[in-house]
Structures are given as C-alpha cells and as structure tokens.
C-alpha cells in the first residue's frame, strides 16, 4: 500500500467527474467511457438525463414489478417521511410493520406465517441461514450445521449467500467461504432442454443428488437446502417439472429444512405471490426482497413456518429469543412502500396479469429463435434468458455489446449475464410493449452478430 497521500476529488471543485463512485457489479472503466445514465422513471420507462425514453425490459433489476414511480407508492413514502422517519426496530416498533408482516404472511402458502425483516436479498439469505442454525440449536440438534446450495445459484453477496451460491465469478476472489457447505448440480442441460417454454420436461431426477450428499455428509448434519425455484441471475433456469417436489420429498425424509430463495420470484414474477404456490411446494422458509416494495425502498425479509418460529418462543419472557436484526429492519419508509406496493398488486391484479400474459410472452420470446448466434431461449412466468454464442476469444463481449446497443441505439434496458441476455419487465407491461421489447431485442441481436 502506498504511503503517498491520496488526493481526494473535492465535490466543490469537481462537480461530477464520474470518478469517486466505485460502481457495483459494473465494468467501471467501460461505463465511465460510455455512461448509461438514467435520471427519471415512470411506469414502463426510464428516461436518460437528455429526456430520451428507455423501455424497461428488466424491471430495473428484477425489482419494480408494479412499474416505476407509481403514485400510490410515492405518496405513501412521502407521507411516512413526514410522519415518522425512523423507529428503532429492537425492543420498539411501528404498528405498520406488523400490518405489513401480516399482509405478506397472508400471501404465503401453507403455514409460513411469520416474517423477519431486513434490507436486501443478501441479508435475507444470511438471516435465513442463521434462523436455520439457531432453530436446530434450540431443537437440540446443533450438529445440523451444514448447508447445501446449488451450482449456478445466486443468493447475494454476504459470506453466507456467497458460500451457498454457485457462480464462480462471485466466489473465486474471496477466499475459502463458510465451512460445511456443499452444492447440488445445476439443472440445465441444453441437449435435453433447449428452447423450453415454461418448466422443462427433463431434469426431475437431478434432485436425487441430494440423496448422494446426505450419504456423504450424514443425514443428520444438514441444516438446510437453499435453492431459487427459478434461478434468475444465471440468466433464467426454470425448474424441471417435478424437481422441486422431489427435493421437498427428500428433505422431508431426512428432516432437512428447505428454503426457497424467492428474491426474484416473489411478488408476481411467475404469476403468483410466490413461486412456491405455482409449484405446489411448501418450503420451510422463503427469502424475499426486491418486489416487496416494487423496488422503491430497500427491504428484504424471511418468511418462516409456524413451528420454526414457535421453537424460539421459549425461556423467560423478558429475554431476547433470537440475537439477530438490522438497524433498518422494517424501516418505516420501506414498510410504507411495501404496504402501498401490496395494495397495487392486489388492486390491479398484477400477479394474475403476469399469468395471463405468459403465453403471449413465450411466443414473443421464441420469435427470436432463428436469429444469428441464438443458442437457447428459456422462458418462465414473465422472464426470459437468451443464450448467445460467444465471440471467439472474447467471452462476454457479445452480451456486453448487446446491452450497450440496447441502451444507446434502441432505448431498451436489458440485463447481460456474460453472453446471455435476461429480461423481466414490470408486470404492468402491455401487449404492445411486449412486442416493442422483442422488436428492439431482435435488432440488437442482429447488430451484435
């Protein structure tokens, strides 16, 4: 480390030279050479600082399910900021946080009836991991301390979520991870699944790999299995038909907790409040974030089954039952945004809307099938992953160029994951806008051929 004094840019002398902000998950130098700035948003669109409209094919980052800057959400946040800015969530509370917890629990399947709030998907995952460990502790089975994740899984960037996650680039620079974590194989096989509409027919048997891990580690050492019902961040891997049901059955056999990470799939993305409902599988915990406030204020949380919560409600009444929480758990602005978002989802029937649009969305996705360099298209709910072949010697270049061209030439926001493109528009998207998104995407794919 150099001992030379570092000259910091002064905000007063250098108003905006793009230097100081180290951008997350971004190619910083390329961005700062050719910025993709957005400074306003409304409904289905972002607007660049020069006023140019950009149609949002990505719900921001899988977040804004109700569309952008919706008036009821904006007003709720404004009113809450004026009424009460902050309430300490440890030992005190804001009544509205109980209302939001009840509303979320009412949307959840089965007896998932308690909610622990945090501020992001990463925190939700690490919270669920801690609940699992502490649950086995209070249940007299502290030896259940291992976790099983899955290859190509994304569970955020905390050390817990990173350890159970299965994306090499997110792990390899960061040391040895948590001990005691193993991984299921991912569920993708292009040979058997290419161009699947909805859940692919092939792959249910892959759940049986959990049996192998149980044999390897011992059936009573595993605390929990974490999977995304649909793996979004790896460019959309829908679960094979029957896979999640089979995973549930194996977890039941060995009394392993099953956690669905629904940070993306929660709040309507797959046509239901939670993907658990779509698949008729009740996990022991559900992690959520993003759509809970339609992205308007950071919030995450963990839905927990009744018996898990009950196991903690022991000991003297004045004693804290679970030593965990965040300063901003159930922050009043997030709670206000969450209540307003849930009202919008209900009043506008947005989860059902996603379900109704599904066949049209799938047709639009598959219209790209014969374009150059398209290797696969996978769609489920209002999501799609499109694999493009890599340019020789330049993995990730074609995807990156597609993102740049989408933004600059077509006025389209999409996500690039290596050479794959992922899309997931706000659930208010119209049929005409679906057409527009795919016309623009087709031109982008041709342009990067």
Ligand X SMILES: Cc1ncc(COP(=O)(O)O)c(C=O)c1O
Distances (CA, A) of 82 to 77, 88, 143, 187, 432: 9, 17, 49, 48, 39
Considering Cα of 184, then 153, then 127, then 345, what sign does the dihedral take?
negative
Complex with ligand X: residue 65 or 120, whichever CB lies closer: 120
Complex with ligand X: residue 80 or 120, whichever CB lies closer: 120
In the complex, the smallest distance separating the C-beta of residue 436 from ligand X, rounded to whole angstroms, is: 25
Complex with ligand X: residue 311 or 354, whichever CB lies closer: 354
239 DSSP assignment: P
Complex with ligand X: residue 232 or 381, whichever CB lies closer: 232
Complex with ligand X: residue 232 or 332, whichever CB lies closer: 232
Strands 257-261 and 285-288: parallel
Complex with ligand X: residue 165 or 438, whichever CB lies closer: 165
Q: Which residues contact 388 (CB under 8 A, 6 or more apart)?
A: 373, 374, 375, 398, 399, 402, 419, 420, 421, 445, 448
Q: In the complex, which residues of this chain contact ligand X (CB under 6 A)?
A: 120-122, 125, 154-156, 228, 232-233, 261, 263-264, 289
Q: For the stretch 89-110, what's the b/e string if a residue is b when 16 or more beta carbons lie within 10 angstroms of its beta carbon?
A: beeeebebbeebbeebbebbbe
Q: Are 437 and 412 in contact (CB under 8 A)?
A: yes
**CB neighbours of residue 170 within 10 Å:** 18
In the complex, the smallest distance separating the C-beta of residue 231 from ligand X, rounded to whole angstroms, is: 8
Q: Which residues contact 152 (CB under 8 A, 6 or more apart)?
A: 166, 167, 186, 188, 231, 234, 237
Max Cα distance, the chain (Å): 67
259 DSSP assignment: E
In the complex, the smallest distance separating the C-beta of residue 166 from ligand X, rounded to whole angstroms, is: 12
CA atoms within 13 A on the CB side of 146: 16
Complex with ligand X: residue 160 or 399, whichever CB lies closer: 160
In the complex, the smallest distance separating the C-beta of residue 338 from ligand X, rounded to whole angstroms, is: 14
**CB neighbours of residue 356 within 10 Å:** 12
In which order are the strands placed within the sheet that holds 383-388? 374-380, 383-388, 420-423, 415-417
In the complex, the smallest distance separating the C-beta of residue 120 from ligand X, rounded to whole angstroms, is: 3
Complex with ligand X: residue 290 or 398, whichever CB lies closer: 290
In the complex, the smallest distance separating the C-beta of residue 327 from ligand X, rounded to whole angstroms, is: 16
In the complex, the smallest distance separating the C-beta of residue 263 from ligand X, rounded to whole angstroms, is: 3
Q: Mark residue 338 as left, alpha or beta (left: phi above 0; alpha: psi -120 to 50; beta: remaining).
A: alpha
In the complex, the smallest distance separating the C-beta of residue 87 from ligand X, rounded to whole angstroms, is: 22
Q: Which residues contact 98 (CB under 8 A, 6 or more apart)?
A: none
Complex with ligand X: residue 228 or 410, whichever CB lies closer: 228
The residue sitting closest to ligand X, measured at its beta carbon, is: 121
In the complex, the smallest distance separating the C-beta of residue 260 from ligand X, rounded to whole angstroms, is: 9
């Amino acid at each position: 480390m150099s001992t030379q004094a570092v000259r910091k840019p002064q905000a007063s002398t250098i108003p905006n030279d793009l230097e100081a902000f180290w951008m997350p998950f971004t190619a910083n130098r390329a961005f700062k050479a050719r910025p993709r700035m957005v400074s306003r948003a409304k409904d289905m669109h972002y607007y660049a600082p020069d006023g140019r409209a950009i149609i949002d094919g990505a719900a921001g980052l899988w977040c804004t399910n109700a569309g952008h800057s919706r008036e009821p959400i904006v007003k709720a946040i404004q009113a809450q900021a004026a009424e009460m800015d902050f309430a300490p969530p440890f030992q005190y509370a804001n009544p509205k946080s109980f209302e939001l917890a009840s509303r979320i629990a009412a949307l959840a399947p089965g007896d998932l009836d308690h909610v622990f709030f945090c501020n992001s998907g990463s925190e939700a995952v690490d919270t669920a991991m801690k609940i699992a460990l502490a649950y086995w502790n209070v249940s007299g089975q502290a030896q259940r301390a291992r976790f099983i994740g899955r290859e190509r899984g994304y569970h955020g960037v905390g050390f817990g979520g990173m350890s159970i996650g299965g994306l090499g680039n997110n792990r390899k620079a960061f040391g040895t991870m948590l001990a005691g974590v193993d991984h299921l194989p991912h569920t993708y096989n292009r040979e058997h699944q290419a161009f699947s509409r909805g859940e692919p027919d092939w792959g249910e048997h892959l759940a049986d790999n959990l049996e192998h891990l149980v044999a390897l580690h011992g059936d009573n050492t595993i605390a929990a299995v974490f999977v995304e019902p649909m793996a979004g961040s790896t460019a959309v891997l829908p679960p094979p038909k029957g896979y999640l049901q089979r995973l549930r059955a194996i977890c039941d056999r060995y009394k392993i907790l099953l956690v669905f990470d629904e940070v993306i799939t929660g709040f309507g993305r797959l046509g239901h409040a939670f993907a658990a409902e779509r698949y008729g599988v009740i996990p022991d915990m559900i992690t959520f974030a993003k759509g809970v406030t339609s992205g308007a204020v950071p919030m995450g949380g963990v839905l927990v089954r009744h018996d898990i919560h009950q196991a903690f409600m022991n000991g003297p009444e004045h004693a804290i039952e679970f030593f965990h929480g965040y300063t901003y758990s159930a922050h009043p602005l997030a709670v206000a945004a969450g209540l307003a978002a849930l009202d919008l989802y209900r009043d506008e029937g947005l989860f059902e809307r996603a379900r109704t649009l599904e066949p049209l969305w799938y047709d639009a996705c598959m219209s790209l099938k014969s374009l150059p360099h398209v290797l696969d298209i996978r769609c489920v709910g209002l999501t799609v992953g499109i694999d493009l072949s890599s340019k020789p010697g330049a993995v990730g270049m074609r995807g990156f160029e597609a993102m740049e061209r989408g933004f600059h030439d077509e006025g389209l926001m999409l996500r690039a994951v290596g050479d794959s493109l992922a899309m997931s528009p706000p659930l208010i998207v119209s049929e005409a806008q679906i057409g527009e998104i795919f016309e623009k995407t087709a031109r982008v794919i041709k342009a990067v051929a």
